[in-house]
Amino acid sequence: MKNFTFSNRIRKLAEIAGPCNTMADIGTDHALLPIFMLKEGLCKKAIACDINESPLAKAALDVSEAEIDSALVDLRLGNGLERLQPGECDTIVIAGMGGLLIADILENGKKIFEKPCRLIMQPNTCRPELRTYLAENGFEISDESASEDEGHTYLFITAEYTGVKRTIDFKESVLGTKLQDKPEDFKIYCAELKEKYERKLDGLRMSQQDVSEEIQKAELILKEVRL
Ligand SMILES: C[S@@+](CC[C@H](N)C(=O)[O-])C[C@H]1O[C@@H](n2cnc3c(N)ncnc32)[C@H](O)[C@@H]1O
């Protein structure tokens, strides 16, 4: 039996995703999340999807070496949500990818949300763009969390498809509306934003172009995150 190491990020994803019946992990790589959730009894079955064959081969090996019933993990090769049918799973996780790729996967796989299904995302980049996509395409964010692990800040977004489309402003796209209720998480998230927007503002102030609008936006965020 292999000795698995599960990062705090994987543990946090599992805590948010579970307990559930069938979870689908899109871009599963080693299938660490499905393995952890099954080991901990946080899901009854898992569908582990990846676009590439080599991660799925590693996933198959890891599943066979984990102390779980390997029949409970269904490994599927495919792009995004294309190998899922509506109603097959009650929870979908798309983690460890850029926000634009996550939005693209949702855009191409909208039919899955004909049946109720919770969506958990952990975008590494382009978080404002992902929040904007979700709002404009009928997904409602019901929860957000942030955590820090080995020098990285991770954001976790839970959303449901409601079909109600709306536009959000720049401030909401950057800050969201849910983290503010969680002082510890908000502090972690703001520390990262502060560093990012201070660097951005320094760059903008040296620009020879008219970047006054960009400067205003950066100053707006910095005002919000100076806790
Ligand atoms: C950085 S890993 C993240 C693995 C895991 N989800 C995690 O959070 O640790 C990204 C994985 O997503 C897969 N991937 C990238 N684009 C994909 C797509 N459009 N559909 C399915 N899988 C994808 C890659 O092959 C890779 O295994």
Which of 6, 7, 29, 36 has most ligand 1 atoms within 8 Å of its beta carbon, as the pocket-test mutant? Answer: 29
Q: Where would I find the beta strands (DSSP E) of the chain?
A: 20-26, 43-50, 73-77, 91-97, 118-123, 139-149, 152-161
Range scoring the smallest mean pLDDT among 1-5, 111-115, 144-148, 209-213: 1-5
Which of 128, 127, 157 minimizes the C-alpha distance to 145? 157
- Does 97 sit in the ligand 1 pocket, CB within 6 Å? yes
Spatial separation of the C-alpha atoms in residues 37 and 19, rounded to whole Å:
8
- Does 52 sit in the ligand 1 pocket, CB within 6 Å? yes
Indicate if 154 and 188 belong to the same structural domain: no
Ligand 1 center to residue 183 CA distance, Å?
31
Indicate if 109 and 140 belong to the same structural domain: yes
Residue closest by Cα to atom 7 of ligand 1 = 96
pLDDT band at residue 1 using 50, 70 and 90 as cut-offs: confident
- Does 155 sit in the ligand 1 pocket, CB within 6 Å? no
- pLDDT, position 227: 64
Q: Is residue 221 part of a domain?
A: yes
154-170 pLDDT, tens digit per residue, is 999 999 999 999 999 99
Q: Is residue 100 part of a domain?
A: yes
- pLDDT, position 171: 98
End-to-end CA, the chain: 47
Indicate if 51 and 99 belong to the same structural domain: yes
- pLDDT, position 2: 84
- Does 96 sit in the ligand 1 pocket, CB within 6 Å? yes
Indicate if 225 and 160 belong to the same structural domain: no
* Domain total in the chain: 2
- pLDDT, position 3: 87
pLDDT band at residue 38 using 50, 70 and 90 as cut-offs: very high
Find all residues with CB under 8 Å of 90, minimum gap 6, and list them.
20, 21, 22, 23, 116, 117, 118
Indicate if 36 and 128 belong to the same structural domain: yes
Find all residues with CB under 8 Å of 60, minimum gap 6, and list them.
75
The predicted model gives 22-36 an average pLDDT of 98
Indicate if 152 and 104 belong to the same structural domain: yes
116-152 pLDDT, tens digit per residue, is 999 999 999 999 999 999 999 999 999 999 999 989 9
Residue closest by Cα to atom 25 of ligand 1 = 52
- pLDDT, position 102: 98
Q: Is residue 226 part of a domain?
A: yes
Check pLDDT > 90 for residue 17: yes
Q: What is the average pLDDT score of the chain?
A: 97
194: containing domain: 182-227
Q: Is residue 151 part of a domain?
A: yes
- Does 34 sit in the ligand 1 pocket, CB within 6 Å? no
Ligand 1 center to residue 216 CA distance, Å?
36
Say what the pTM is: 0.97
Find all residues with CB under 8 Å of 100, minimum gap 6, and list them.
125, 126, 129, 130
| Percent with pLDDT over 70 in the chain | 100
- Does 120 sit in the ligand 1 pocket, CB within 6 Å? no
pLDDT band at residue 54 using 50, 70 and 90 as cut-offs: very high
pLDDT band at residue 225 using 50, 70 and 90 as cut-offs: very high
